[in-house]
Amino acid sequence: DSFIKESSPLKTTLEKENLEFKMENERLLQVISELEEEIQLSVKENSVLEDEIISLKEIAEKDHKTIQKVNKQKEDLEMRRKYDAIVAKATHEVPAVMQGEKIKQSVAKIEEEKRVLEHQIQVLTSKLEREKKKSESFHVLKNEMFTRHTLFRQFAVLADTSFNYVRVKPLFVQSKTNLATVTTSSTSVDHSSSVNIKYEDVGNNQISFPLSQQVRSEYLEEESRKEKQSTPQNTTESNTAAPE
């Protein structure tokens, strides 16, 4: 009985401890299950992150390749610029003497062409002046010939005509008998003066021109025409004077 009494508190203690252990075990199991769930979530997140990391790595590789390509192009451009600058410098420096000679030759050629053109201009100018002088002299000669011809005709007419300023009278109204007498006498005088070759005295200067056959014929035609024109006029005047 004493043993039973002593073992009963021990039993209760053990049971209590066992119960506590069970409760602790259940709590730990629950904690483990929660941790496992968290681990699964972490694994999922890790897989997502790994995928992102892989994609980022791919993007980084692409960017790196692009950067390398850009850098290479930049280097190529720099090299090309340097090469172009060197070539341009070489092309400007090397043929500088040749270009200077070409420029001198072109300038000399231009000067020669300029001299030739100036000479041609001078020749043409002198030719134009000569043509102008010829034209002016031709016009002067033409005017002089016309003047001489006119003077010759005037002197010829003067030489073939006799003027008596004392006998010139104004026109009076006369009777038919006197008019007929005057007309007949004037006609005979004109014909006689036109047929005979005469010389005219002008003022105090004696100017004599022998008349040619052409001049005499022209003068005779002119006189006959004047007579034909004057005859109707005299007849009209006599008719107007008759009633008086």
What's the count of helices (H) and strands (E) in the chain, helices before strands?
4, 2
H or E element that contains 201:
strand 200-202
Query: How many angstroms from the chain centroid is the CA of residue 208?
Result: 69
Q: Are 171 and 226 in contact (CB under 8 A)?
A: no
| Residue range 19-68, pLDDT digits in tens | 888 899 999 999 999 999 999 998 998 889 889 899 998 998 999 899 99
Is 235 domain-assigned?
yes
Is 109 domain-assigned?
no
| Residue range 80-107, pLDDT digits in tens | 888 888 877 776 665 566 666 777 777 8
Is 47 domain-assigned?
no
Q: Are 209 and 155 in contact (CB under 8 A)?
A: yes
24/21 Cα distance (integer angstroms): 5
Is 128 domain-assigned?
no
Is 27 domain-assigned?
no
Quote the domain boundaries for residue 185: 136-241
Is 214 domain-assigned?
yes
Is 198 domain-assigned?
yes
Is 195 domain-assigned?
yes
| Residue range 111-168, pLDDT digits in tens | 888 888 888 888 888 888 888 887 777 777 777 777 877 877 777 776 655 544 444 4
Query: How many structural domains comprise the chain?
Result: 1
- Give the pLDDT score at 223: 66
